[in-house]
Chain A
């Protein structure tokens, strides 16, 4: 399957600081990437959809001013957790959508990055 990288894999920061997480699709272009949050022993919760060339769309209850998303190119999306607090500590996972209708077999698959474990002290 396709490869999606995420950086950093782990970050510990002080309360009030901002943290930037990068998500890259390494071997395909992704016009759409998704950001999820996963708390221990829970499922993945979609936070927002990152669209190349346009504003991100956020799911209900997710503060767009707190979780800034930038989709700078077809292979890179970033999530910045601004003014992080301990309750923001979580496992953040991105996925890149491989969506093709022409030029071969159609496909619509999401490939997940390895995740970033954020701990806010």
Chain B
């Protein structure tokens, strides 16, 4: 079945260093979404990418969707302690031609930032 893989599982960085997490799908995705979950919290929607090769920025966060629409990345420039949390990518579960809205999540990358 469809799989969404994310690496690395954990990343420890010094405050100010950059951070990147990578997401790979076994199938082509119509879109990819990114969520952030703080420790003890719930996933919060960050962004959705739809177009092949799309790049979107949110302040220090840069999101990319691969040309083949099977991979994506999230890059954080100059990390801050407020960036701590687990970042999940998620793609739609295939269900024939219908859009059920179901998502399959990657395993997440947990970011720790040392002040």
Contact = CB atoms under 8 A, between A and B. Distances in A.
Contact of B45 (A45, A49, A99, A109): A109
B108 A111 contact: no
A112 B88 contact: no
Interface residues of A, number: 21
B100 interface: yes
B99 A108 contact: yes
Interface residues of B, number: 21
Given A42-B107, A43-B88, A43-B107, A112 B102 contact: no
- Interface majority SS on A: helix, strand, loop or mixed? strand
A49 B95 CA distance: 13
Interface in B16-66: 33, 35, 41-45, 48
Contact of B101 (A44, A108, A114): A108
25 contacts: A1-B45, A32-B100, A32-B101, A34-B102, A41-B110, A42-B107, A43-B107, A43-B108, A44-B88, A46-B93, A46-B102, A46-B103, A46-B104, A93-B42, A97-B101, A108-B99, A108-B101, A109-B33, A109-B48, A110-B45, A112-B42, A113-B42, A114-B41, A115-B41, A115-B42
Interface of A: 1, 32, 34, 41-46, 49, 93, 97, 99, 108-115
